[in-house]
A and B are shown apart, each in its own frame.
Chain A
Amino acid sequence: GAVVSQHPSRVICKSGTSVKIECRSLDFQATTMFWYRQFPKQSLMLMATSNEGSKATYEQGVEKDKFLINHASLTLSTLTVTSAHPEDSSFYICSATRFQGLASLFFGPGTRLTVL
């Protein structure tokens, strides 16, 4: 199956700092990547759709100035949590769409963010 990586897998930071999370499609090109947030024992909450070479599309209620998304290449999207606060602590997961006859969505392993 396709491989999507995320880095870092875990990050602990102080309140007020910014944190960048990388999402890479390792063996395919992804024109579209998605960023999710997941709270304990809940399903995935889509934050934004990242489109290569253009601005991300944010879901309602997600602050685009708070969660900066950059999709500079066909294999890399980054999510930067700016001026992080404890309420931003969560599990962040990215996914990428691979089109090979049909569209399949592959997920990264997730990043656990803890803001102190």
Chain B
Amino acid sequence: TQLLEQSPQFLSIQEGENLTVYCNSSSVFSSLQWYRQEPGEGPVLLVTVVTGGEVKKLKRLTFQFGDARKDSSLHITAAQPGDTGLYLCAGARNYGQNFVFGPGTRLSVLP
């Protein structure tokens, strides 16, 4: 049973388009993190959200944590080829004693 679901799992779009990736669970997390991973490298932490309803912006990326702290979304505005990669969400349980990962969303932005 996947504790964290991500949708879509694959997404191919043209440069300049907007997109949203969703991360959903039936469990409550103390915090949730988003990562981007490029081929042959380790995942890089983009953001950590902690408070229900929290919204964080990182340039063209907007992250939102659901009010109940069970789900999150990542919105990218005007996607660029450099945004291509595997996006992973991870929920922290027991205040960081362990983390649950989603299956990932593989994004391809075509020039």
Most buried by A among B42, B43, B104: B42
Q: Is A67 in contact with chain B by the CB < 8 A criterion?
A: no
Q: Assuming A43-B103, A107-B35, A112-B40, is B45 touching A99 (CB within 8 A)?
A: no
Are B95 and A103 in touch, CB under 8 angstroms? Answer: yes
The answer to whether B90 has its CB under 8 Å from any CB of chain A is yes
Residue contact A105 to B42, C-beta cutoff 8 Å: no
Which residues on the A side are within 8 Å of B31 (C-beta)? 102-103
Q: Does A82 count as interface, using CB distance less than 8 angstroms? A: no
* A49 to B93 CA separation, bound complex (whole angstroms): 14
Given contacts A102-B48, A109-B41, contact A43 B96 (CB under 8 A): no
- Check if B44 is an interface residue, CB within 8 A of chain A: yes
- A1 with B88: CB separation less than 8 A: no
A105 and B50 within 8 A (CB): no
- A28 interface residue (CB < 8 Å to B): no
Closest residue of chain A to B31 (Cβ to Cβ) is A102
Interface residues of A (CB under 8 A from B): 1, 4, 6, 32, 34, 41-44, 46, 49, 91, 93, 95, 97, 99, 102-110, 112
Chain B residues close to A by CB (< 8 Å): 30-31, 33, 35, 40-45, 48, 50, 86, 88, 90, 92, 95-99, 101-104, 106
22 contacts between A and B (CB under 8 A): A4-B42, A34-B98, A34-B99, A41-B106, A42-B104, A43-B103, A44-B43, A44-B101, A93-B42, A95-B42, A99-B96, A102-B48, A102-B96, A103-B31, A105-B33, A105-B92, A107-B35, A107-B42, A107-B43, A107-B44, A108-B42, A109-B42
Top-3 shortest CB links A-B: A103-B96, A107-B42, A43-B104
